[in-house]
Structure 1
């Protein structure tokens, strides 16, 4: 472990941890002394000295917004708060603060890229890169250790990310720079917190990672030469970070150390130092500020989930009286949308302005998050019977086609009383699936804080409108409405344009919702649910199936004999097979035959991948895949309608004990359950389809789940079929390494899934056995 700075006192003045029911629920909130590995996995501290009643509600406050343990994990006072708008301001401030670090720099991020440009010297044009900068300050100060904790992202997110620094290929970190990936999150979850803590004296929190394609200025010029990453320009980016010190910085340090402990099982000491890393050039927006920190953390290693961010949003919306100003990348949380709709229905409720980006990142995000946003914005406009809702997006002339000002900020301001800045999107996953951290400051009747909050709102609106903050303030005051000021100050070159949305169908909403789940998917629970009644079959499965093995050997021997001692080998030559497939594909009825073949194949349980392989060889990879998926969907629909016609009682004879298990899963999970049972079949394809029809699941849900669940297998068959087609035309073209890797991946995946099912089944049986006691009771 590194050279430790002096430990902080056991009781930190000015921080309320919320009691045993508060921040201790979070698996990512560490305190000194949390070194036990079991405690690390739960992330809970048992040090009572660090818990004490809050005395920091401040003057003029009869009832604070903050409820530790319910809507926040820590409260207290920050001596200074500065609000940094856009990447240029944040990166420059980070550089000045990090240069003054003496002991530790803690960096948490959704992404981290050592190639990120932090500063460009306007005179020498010298470019300061993040990786070089961190190495320089680590070399310059021997007492300094830098800890970087990045989300251990799946490969699908890695196409535009830097190769892992731990390999030293693109950046070799100094020996006192400790880089780790954090995989302590549920399936489909992520670590989304963006926190930097310097010597526990200064901290940054908000929506910006230290990574590429984030730097920009409030001007958001379409042709800004500084907005280039790795030689490629990118669209304007708007975001907000907060710089804090005092108790707020120490509390953020606790969160960062808790994350490091959970990810690495290594504890880091807090820092006590007289060194003040606050940059001398950074003027605070407010001083003596009452703050609250709210987190989201999913259930990890038995810890209770933390949903403070969601509750704090709901509480702020409920307490707002005059206005709510929101900037957010997404707007898909149905609970937040419902709460806003309720306020719009009130005759004297607050005015609500939502600023979000025009376009999503790519077609997938457009089909999911943008679709969900369209539904919620449309519902709010219907609820807006008093004309107090305005949804808009920043617009600037001269941007390239299909680009926009990427509004990436996550902030909310209400009544000049509360201002929140953080990492949490207004999405379902940010409320319960991903790790998030938001900072909220509260005026508490202090005029200078009220003025700072109001001034920051006006500053943001002025940026979006290309106007002067004083003019924004004057118009809002005179007209009594943010929307009125926006509409008067907006001009073609810079404005907040009304967000246009189209009506969205229910099937589209349900499919899009799979990308924005409210709760994490527990694969263990899902597998246990889908395989629960297999526990009693385990003894039989554990015996060696000698009869089946003998039968398989006989079949293999018979086929070998037929190939060697009959004319089959001369008939089925590569040349003949190529000729047959080409002749077959020329017939007009060939595609129809392939598509329709999947239905009888499902009935007689003929292997569908064989048909897919034949289709790919005959028609090529993409056309063959299209026919295959069409045939699978038709077979699924046929089984579905057969199940509806036969009815539940008749289908029960086919499904047997699987019926109840399938019924419960399908009724509870919908599209997600259909996808799961198609990916990991617990009954024949036709039986699953008939059960879905018998219990009257909606056809579009069955079709959507079937498409998603069958697509991976069909793609794999397509890859192999394409390789086979190449080999038939020219055997020297076949890539044996690729084919071997594909087969190996299938085999490994099959073994893993099978063992997982068996393990979960046996654990489920053990859990239900008499006398079993859960480990958490020990």
Structure 2
């Protein structure tokens, strides 16, 4: 039986959850406990494993071609121009996603396609397709529906990655239908086919998806409809009861038949939805029951609770070997200097607990001379070759409570055939990383009597597993804060972040400008670090920077160019903080503050007029969930509302301007509210940026003390302003 979202919430709210205290270790056959550690336990007629992008995208394409009623594509990111296959197919269908969907709906008048993609944070703009909504809506059929999913708390994301075809076949795992994901199982250091839609190459990439049919696929179809309804407000109709056998991909042979699949979720508390922590609980329960082997592939390793469970396992006198496969380093500079630091800290704790020598952590190297490593993006765990889980959840705190996640899991239920399949699958993955034949690995395991010993006998050649270090530079370790800010387990609202910084527990209203100050500090400190520790210092130093600033300051066109930069930056949705910092750098604190206030005011009015010109319906379609979020907050349009939005921003600067223009707020109230609402934040950024720039020029003790005093002054003023505004808003 499928529990609806409302029934599930009611069950949880009535305190019907079983005791979550781990007891004596039990067999894997008794592992699944609904709704404690999974939402559904449903029969899958067939189960397959799609390893790496080449196999998954080909299989997905085949299933979409066979669709008759509905296609749901749910992901953290979706790229319309991704080439699903890299060779000629001869079947008459396009290889790029958007063209494929277009042809399928033209050929089948009953087919409805729903694409749900995270309404992503600005920090990921350069990694993702620019305005995928526009490309899909302006050029596609009216039966191809697209929504940006913003139905999550502040700081959270829609991180589930699954596809459902006719409620008959479903794919779930770690692979988005996105760029930088396609690769073969060989993971060659240089593969000319491994290019993104823009023609750029990227490193080898590894990931895993599970494919299911039958009732398990129907359950994922229900999940997709619930997610769509949470964003769009309208739940699509389910497919007919009779399954579509043509949906199963021809290129993906089923590995198991007639097995039960558990579907576990992470869902943060949001609106009417209760929080679900089934994914975390299933991790803990399965690790606690492990006896011989815990095999993990994951992008991150920072979850406190998972770390505790692994430490407890390592401390047992008789316990399982633990093999963890992770990236050599994560994708971007920011992740490498945050999440990788948290990984090193947790790895250090695990190695301290490994008194019996049962832990190994590896990365996958494919070339020694060029030092090319495989990006491990898989979220896979196999325990005792009797339990396998594949999904979207990273071993991070946010995947346990803040992001929306979906994992699938299977146990052998004392079925020897199932155990054989899981064992073979685990060996296939390990053999892929070691660049050996699975049979060779099986023989090495038998000879050594240990998976770890077998791995260590096969670590040869350029493509192999390489020991992963947990050492970290002391300076970097001291600079990176605790995971409470970097990798939170629950929503970290601006109010809570301010309390974390100031130590206050009685504040009632978030203070956006203080966060902008923090962003300015991080940006400038990052530049200072780059000048100090990277080759940037060879061609960009303080003297050359001062010469450039002096030239810009003395130009007769500078004032006009600065105002124009604010307008263009607002239209293009460039973060306002960056433009303010640049202005202060060129003109100094006081003139920079004045020009920033004038430029922000002018830019706000221009984009307000743009919202008026587009109209409410158009803006609602373009802004998606953000329009509804802001519209709900604008109960009494007027001056105080705009001031509140500027001091406590609920959306980016440009988004607020455009939505305000499409609403009933008058230009007069908008302009006055913007002026007074932006003033504190701009002043704070200008003052702190100026003092920090002075410290960069001459890092003396006096400048450090002045900088510290400025930060404290700004924090105090913003704290007082916040409480003053709070008294106005809540005086009734």
Give the TM-score, by structure 2 length.
0.70
Shift of 1:405: 0.5
Residue aligning to 1:181: 148
Query: Retained in 2: the 8 A contact 1:23–1:73?
Result: no
Matched ranges for 1:408-447 at <5 A: 408-447=377-416
What residue number does 1:743 align with? 597
Whether the 8 Å contact between 2:261 and 2:408 is mirrored in structure 1 is: yes
Distance 1:400 1:212 in 2: 23
Match of 1:479 among 448, 473, 480: 448
User: In terms of mean alpha carbon deviation, does 748-757 or 446-455 score higher?
Assistant: 748-757
1:564 is matched with none
Equivalent residue number for residue 139 of structure 1: 106
- The whole-number CA distance in structure 2 between the counterparts of 1:74 and 1:156 is 34
Deviation track 1:297-344 (CA, whole Å, cap 9, x = no partner) reads: 111114322111111100010011111000001111121111101110
Distance 1:723 1:98, change over 3 A: same
Q: Which of 461, 464, 477 pairs up with 1:495? A: 464
Instruction: Mark the CA change 1:19 to 1:711 in structure 2 (over 3 Å): closer, same or farther.
Output: closer
* Partner SS state of residue 185, structure 2: coil
Alpha-carbon offset, residue 19 of structure 1: 10
Hey, what's the Cα distance between the residues in 1 that align with 2:27 and 2:648?
58
The 1:348/1:707 distance shift into structure 2, 3 A limit, reads: same
Alignment of 1:95 onto 2:64: no
Alignment-derived partner of residue 311 in structure 1: 281
TM-superposed CA distance for 1:499, in Å, is 0.4
Q: Distance in 2 between matches of 1:713 and 1:501?
A: 28
Q: 1:344-383 maps to which residues of 2 (within 5 A)? A: 344-383=314-353
CA distance in 1, matches of 2:555, 2:136: 38
How many Å separate the matches in 1 of 2:726 and 2:408? 40
Change (3 A) 1:23 1:176: farther
CA RMSD of aligned residues (A): 3.5
In structure 2, C-alpha distance between the alignment counterparts of 1:168 and 1:678, rounded to whole Å: 32
Specify the alignment match of 2:35 in structure 1: 69
CA shift for structure 1 position 119: 1.2
Distance in 1 of aligned mates of 2:128 and 2:255: 34
1:463 is the counterpart of 2:440: no
Partner-residue secondary structure (3-state), 2:274: coil
Superposed displacement of residue 397, structure 1: 1.6
- Preserved contact between residue 159 and residue 392 of structure 2 (Cα < 8 Å): yes
Tell me, yes or no, if the aligned pair for 2:28 and 2:386 is still in contact at 8 Å: no
Identify if the C-alpha distance between structure 1 residues 507 and 130 changes in structure 2 by more than 3 Å, giving closer, same or farther.
same
Task: Specify which of 129, 151, 159 is matched with residue 96 of structure 2.
Answer: 129
Is the CA contact 2:9–2:274 (under 8 Å) kept in the aligned structure 1?
no
2:212 paired residue number: 244
The question of 1:515 aligning with 2:482 is answered no
- Cα 1:299–1:62 shift into 2, 3 Å: closer
Q: Quick one: structure 1 residues 713 and 231, their matched pair in 2 at CA, closer, same or farther if it must change by over 3 Å?
A: closer
Q: Is the 8 A contact 2:63 2:249 kept in 1?
A: yes
Structure 2 distance, partners of 1:376, 1:313, is 16
Are the counterparts in 2 of residues 374 and 504 from structure 1 also a CA contact under 8 Å? no
In 2 relative to 1, CA 472–303 (structure 1 residues): closer, same or farther, beyond 3 Å? same
Q: Conserved in 2, the CA contact under 8 Å of 1:165 and 1:171?
A: no
* CA distance in structure 1 between the partners assigned to 2:79 and 2:5 by the alignment: 35
Match of 2:236 among 264, 268, 283: 268
Instruction: Name the structure 2 match of 1:729.
Output: 554
Give me the whole-angstrom Cα distance separating, in 2, the residues matched to 1:108 and 1:17: 19
SS at structure 1 position matched to 2:301 = coil
How far apart, CA to CA, are the structure 2 residues paired with 1:379 and 1:449?
34
Using the alignment, how far apart are the partners of 1:255 and 1:471 within structure 2? 41
Contact 1:678 1:710 in 2 (8 A): no
Q: TM-score, normalised by structure 1?
A: 0.66
Output one character per residue of 1:417-444: Cα deviation in whole Å (capped at 9) or x when no partner: 2100000000111111111100001111
Distance 1:297 1:194 in 2: 14
2:176 maps to 1:209 = yes
Structure 2 portions without partners, runs of 5+: 15-25, 527-541, 571-595, 605-641, 650-721
Partner of 2:305: 335
Shift of 1:680: 3.6
Matched positions, count: 556
SS at structure 1 position matched to 2:203: coil
SS of residue paired to 2:557: helix
